[in-house]
Amino acid sequence: MGFLNSLGLWSGLAALGVAVPIIIHLLYRKNRKETKWAAMELLRKALVVRSGQVKLEDFIVLALRCLAILFLGLALLRPTMNSDATAILGEKKVGMVIGIDASFSMLHGEHSRFEKALSQARKILETANDGDPLSLMLMSRQPNILLRRTGFQPAQALEILENAEATTYPLDLEANLERLDELVSELKTPANECYLITDSQEVDWAQLSSKAKEAFENISKKATIFVVPLQNDSEENFAITQLAYSSGSLQESGVARFSAEVKNYGRRQGDAGSIEFFLGDELITRRSVGLLQSGETRTLSFFASFDKPGDIGVKAKLTKDELSLDNERYAIASVSPGIKVLCVDGDLTTGTNDAQRNGAYYAVRALRLNNREAGKGIQVHHIAAQDLSLENLGEFDLVVMANVEDLAPEMVGRLEKFVQAGKGLIVFLGDKVQPETYNKNFNNLLPATLEEIAEVPETDLPWAFAPVNSGHSLAQVVQRLPQSVFNTARFKKLIKATPSSKSEVILSTETKLPILLSRSVGSGDVLLFTTSADRSWTELPVHPLYAMLLQQAATDLTSDTSSQHLIAGTPVELLVPERQVGSDIQVLDPTGQAQALKVTQVGENPSCPIDAASIGIYKIEGGDKFKSLQVAVNPDQRESMSSSLDASSLQSQLEPLGIRAISDTGTLIEAIENSRRGRELAHLLLVLSTAAFILQALLAKRFTDKMRQGEASDLGGALQINQVQAARRS
């Protein structure tokens, strides 16, 4: 015989409960009064006749009271018996809700955690009887109900489990617990059980949210909860956590660098093997990752050249480990056929030597590094500021303003729309720029409020760059330069700028004055150089960094693919520019399966809803006249953290909620059976307790009523009898 509840605590309480009537009885005896008595012989005769009877009556009532409390205490202990003695109680239906963790971490292992979870579910189902109400649910990003309050049929349930699959989504524990609570509430059986079979990832279970705790508490009011943590053979896992364009030209015939980060999520140091980089389906290179400490991240990069424009998938693939889903990562390179730049020059007084040339001169040359064939690479169109109103901005991808004094408000409005539509704007300042005018007219475009001019005294050395601490791709360009080269870029003069809340300072001087700032405006970006584009304020235009910065800036500002990188299981409205609302598009998933969708309107932009479940590259095609759009879908990195709580840690986490975590199958089945038997015994004991209580009340009344027989019917006597009756009933 065992007890499901704490024997020490509850048996102590039960003993206390049993002691209560005895203590009351003893106290009652202690409080007796004493008198001398003459008619002892009469009293003795009365007692000779009655004392035995009274003692017996007392004993019966006291014993029944003690039994009532004893049975109640035992019921609270929830005793279990290993014999079949409880079979006489008859079988009772048990309502079961089984939630199986189907997040992608469950795919870990050669014999995956998910398969083990299904095996545990089968074992649990073996304890069910035909017809018992059963709900089955897969838990990941959202609940997936496989069976809902269906009478248990072994063949049906096993078939459903056979076909169940883990997802590529992370686990949303709170949402799933909420749904489990609903399923438990639907059960109408006297005894309900709720099972959660999970790999008990630390990320989900180490710190339960208050909402999750509340959900557990709600469920535990209606059902016995068993959390079944799986016994994980290994927790080692390497994952590619990031793959992204790093630098270089994303243009036809351009070369760009892509970087991948590999992380060791395991508990031990390990060899991450090698990583392969693919452009499209073509293997570009294979690199060795080497040994990684637990928690260590290593960045590896490769160069890819593009021979045709359009979106192209980039893939990094790690040597297979125990969780393969996060061994591949995808990115999209949006290669443009060429970038059309409009260079707007505010200073037309250019000289013939380098020192006298204006900013546009250097900018144009920095952007036109290579002699490209017409229509390819960066094409720069150079105009004077006063001619800007004559240009059709829609033909350009990027506008560069150099030392432009001011623009008409109408022109400023056109520029704003140009940037908001996803195009780029680079602004250089200079001696023609009036800070007040810029602050007033370019307020919606500039990433900072301009102040006065700051200048290095002639006796001092011009300012150098401060060490880079930004993650912006332009900052990374500067950071990759050798220190000796980096320090030669100097600044004599600039306009002080106070960054706005929506902007980012990419580069600044060693005196902490911002040099390069960025701001997003609509779908486009604006870059602000607080110094000049010519050599009057800085030697940067003749520094190698200048061309690198402008080239990178041109690429960054014209090839934003962030909207084309999705996390699996996160539904998004994907912008599909130039498509007609209501037109048909076709989405091809990574396995090649096509799905027809209609273009919808979201805000002012045509879009289509994508809820990507598979990891890989999705292709959106909408007829010949539109270019193909590609989307990279990657898993949520949280699920790569495959380390789990062991059963004892999970138990200590769940214990305050009164929930048991049992890992071992045998122990689990025993606990389930004990729980059911215990419940039956508890019910029986509660019935016995109630019966004993009622019986003692009836007997107490009967015995008291008997006392009244033959007694004087005067008022005082009746009152005394009533008092005795009341005392007995109490």
Minimum CB separation of residue 68 from other proteins in Å reads 22
Nearer to other proteins, 57 or 252 (CB): 57
**Tokens in use for 479?**
């950071």
Minimum CB separation of residue 692 from other proteins in Å reads 22
Kindly state the number of chain residues that form the binding site for other proteins, as judged by CB under 8 A.
Answer: 36
Contacts to other proteins from residues 24-63, by CB under 8 A: 28-29, 31-47, 49-51, 54
Q: Which stretch binds other proteins (CB under 8 A): 193-201, 323-331, 389-397, 711-719?
A: 711-719
Nearer to other proteins, 7 or 43 (CB): 43
Minimum CB separation of residue 696 from other proteins in Å reads 17
Told to check if 718 binds other proteins by CB under 8 A, we report no
Nearer to other proteins, 33 or 512 (CB): 33
Alpha-carbon span 631 to 635, nearest angstrom: 13
Alpha-carbon span 238 to 446, nearest angstrom: 43
Measured in degrees and rounded to the nearest 5, phi and psi for residue 209 equal -75, 160
Nearer to other proteins, 51 or 389 (CB): 51
585, 622 Cβ separation under 8 angstroms: yes
Measured in degrees and rounded to the nearest 5, phi and psi for residue 73 equal -60, -40
Report the residue from 411, 567, 691, 707 that binds other proteins according to the rule CB under 8 A.
707
Nearer to other proteins, 687 or 698 (CB): 698
525, 504 Cβ separation under 8 angstroms: no
- Whole-angstrom distance between the N-terminal and C-terminal Cα of the chain? 34
Alpha-carbon span 652 to 647, nearest angstrom: 9
Nearer to other proteins, 592 or 710 (CB): 710
Q: Which residues contact 22 (CB under 8 A, 6 or more apart)?
A: 62, 66
**Tokens in use for 343?**
């260079």
Minimum CB separation of residue 12 from other proteins in Å reads 30
Minimum CB separation of residue 57 from other proteins in Å reads 8
552: left (phi over 0), alpha (psi -120 to 50) or beta: alpha
Told to check if 717 binds other proteins by CB under 8 A, we report yes
Nearer to other proteins, 34 or 130 (CB): 34
Describe the crossing of helices 359-367 and 544-558 by its angle, rounded to 10 degrees.
Answer: 70
229, 643 Cβ separation under 8 angstroms: no
Binding flags for other proteins, 447-466, as an x/- string (CB under 8 A): --------------------
Q: Which stretch binds other proteins (CB under 8 A): 269-277, 324-332, 651-659, 705-713?
A: 705-713
Contacts to other proteins from residues 248-287, by CB under 8 A: none
Told to check if 708 binds other proteins by CB under 8 A, we report yes
Minimum CB separation of residue 61 from other proteins in Å reads 12
Nearer to other proteins, 395 or 714 (CB): 714
DSSP state of 390: G
560, 595 Cβ separation under 8 angstroms: no
Nearer to other proteins, 41 or 460 (CB): 41
Report the residue from 320, 724, 726, 729 that binds other proteins according to the rule CB under 8 A.
724
Sign of the CA dihedral with 244 first, then 249, 251, and 255 last: negative
**Tokens in use for 203?**
């990320």
Minimum CB separation of residue 671 from other proteins in Å reads 50
Minimum CB separation of residue 725 from other proteins in Å reads 9
Helix (H) or strand (E) holding 193: strand 191-198
Nearest-CA neighbor of 313 among 640, 620, 622? Answer: 620
Minimum CB separation of residue 55 from other proteins in Å reads 10
Alpha-carbon span 337 to 709, nearest angstrom: 115
Nearer to other proteins, 23 or 283 (CB): 23
What's at 223, amino acid-wise? A
Minimum CB separation of residue 730 from other proteins in Å reads 14
Contacts to other proteins from residues 302-361, by CB under 8 A: none
Nearer to other proteins, 684 or 721 (CB): 721
Sheet holding 274-279, edge to edge: 282-288, 274-279, 310-318, 328-335
Nearer to other proteins, 46 or 408 (CB): 46
The DSSP result for 557-609, as a single string, is: HH---GGGEEETT--EEEE-TTPPTT-EEEEE-TTS-EEEEE-EEETTEEEEE
Alpha-carbon span 549 to 477, nearest angstrom: 7
Sign of the CA dihedral with 414 first, then 419, 422, and 424 last: positive
Told to check if 729 binds other proteins by CB under 8 A, we report no
302, 287 Cβ separation under 8 angstroms: yes
Minimum CB separation of residue 69 from other proteins in Å reads 23
Told to check if 712 binds other proteins by CB under 8 A, we report yes
Minimum CB separation of residue 78 from other proteins in Å reads 39
Nearer to other proteins, 41 or 624 (CB): 41
Contacts to other proteins from residues 52-111, by CB under 8 A: 54
Alpha-carbon span 159 to 604, nearest angstrom: 48
Nearer to other proteins, 324 or 720 (CB): 720
Nearer to other proteins, 686 or 707 (CB): 707
Alpha-carbon span 602 to 587, nearest angstrom: 18
Report the residue from 8, 90, 592, 710 that binds other proteins according to the rule CB under 8 A.
710
Report the residue from 8, 90, 592, 716 that binds other proteins according to the rule CB under 8 A.
716
Contacts to other proteins from residues 623-662, by CB under 8 A: none
Minimum CB separation of residue 17 from other proteins in Å reads 24
Nearest-CA neighbor of 533 among 353, 341, 362, 366? Answer: 362
Report the residue from 23, 586, 711, 718 that binds other proteins according to the rule CB under 8 A.
711
Minimum CB separation of residue 33 from other proteins in Å reads 5
Minimum CB separation of residue 705 from other proteins in Å reads 11
**Tokens in use for 293?**
């400490």
Q: Which residues contact 10 (CB under 8 A, 6 or more apart)?
A: 3, 73, 76, 77
Binding flags for other proteins, 168-197, as an x/- string (CB under 8 A): ------------------------------
Beta pairing partners, 378? 339
Alpha-carbon span 479 to 12, nearest angstrom: 71
**Tokens in use for 353?**
């030597």
Which chain residues interact with other proteins by CB under 8 A? 28-29, 31-47, 49-51, 54, 707-712, 714, 716-717, 720-721, 723-724
